[in-house]
Structure 1
Amino acid sequence: MTSSTPTAGAVLLAAGVLVLTGCGTKVSGSGAAAAPSPVPSSAQTPDHAARQAAAVARHDALFPEMARLCADRATAVPSVPPDDLPTDPEARKYAENHGYKSQFPLSPQDRCRGDAHAARIKAALGGGEGKDAPRTTQELSRLLTGMGYKPETGDVYGSGPGNLAFVLKVPESGPCVTGRVSVPVQVEAHGAYLESGCREPRGGH
Structure 2
Amino acid sequence: MTRRSAPAAAVSLLTAGLLALTGCGTTVAGAGNAREPSAPSATPSVDYAAQAAAAVARHDKLFPEIAARCAGQGAPAAAGTPGAAGTPGTRPTDPEAGKYAENHAYKQQAELSPGARCRGDAHAARIRAAMTGSSGGKGAPHTVDELRALLMGLGYGFDSGGVYGSGAVNVSFVLSVPESGPCVSGRLGPPVSVRAHGVYVEGGCLEPRGGH
- TM class, shorter-chain normalised? 0.7 to 0.9
Query: Shift in Å at residue 157 of structure 1?
Result: 1.1
Q: Could you give the per-residue CA deviations for residues 116-140 of structure 1, whole angstroms, max 9, x where no partner exists?
A: 1001000001179xx9421121111
Partner of 1:51: 51
In 2: Cα distance, 1:25 partner to 1:73 partner: 65
Q: CA RMSD in A?
A: 3.9
Query: What residue identity is the alignment partner of 1:87?
Result: T
In the alignment, does 2:44 pair up with 1:39? no
Partner of 1:88: 94
Partner of 2:73: 73
TM-score, with length taken from structure 2: 0.74
Q: Is the Cα–Cα contact under 8 Å of residues 144 and 151 in structure 1 kept in the other structure?
A: no
Q: Any unmatched runs of 5+ in structure 1?
A: none
| Aligned pair partner of 2:29 in 19, 24, 48 | 24
Partner of 1:116: 122
| Aligned pair partner of 2:207 in 176, 200, 204 | 200
In 2: Cα distance, 1:80 partner to 1:199 partner: 15
In our comparison, the structure showing a higher alpha carbon Rg is: 2
Partner of 1:140: 147
Q: Is the Cα–Cα contact under 8 Å of residues 155 and 167 in structure 1 kept in the other structure?
A: yes
Q: Any unmatched runs of 5+ in structure 2?
A: none
TM-score, with length taken from structure 1: 0.76
Partner of 1:61: 61
Query: Shift in Å at residue 194 of structure 1?
Result: 1.0
Change in 2 beyond 3 A, CA 1:103/1:71: same
Q: Is the Cα–Cα contact under 8 Å of residues 159 and 176 in structure 2 kept in the other structure?
A: no
In the alignment, does 2:182 pair up with 1:181? no
Q: Could you give the per-residue CA deviations for residues 82-137 of structure 1, whole angstroms, max 9, x where no partner exists?
A: 96211011111110000011111111100111011001000001179xx9421121
Q: Is the Cα–Cα contact under 8 Å of residues 177 and 187 in structure 1 kept in the other structure?
A: yes
In 1: Cα distance, 2:151 partner to 2:31 partner: 64
Query: Shift in Å at residue 156 of structure 1?
Result: 0.4
In 1: Cα distance, 2:160 partner to 2:178 partner: 16
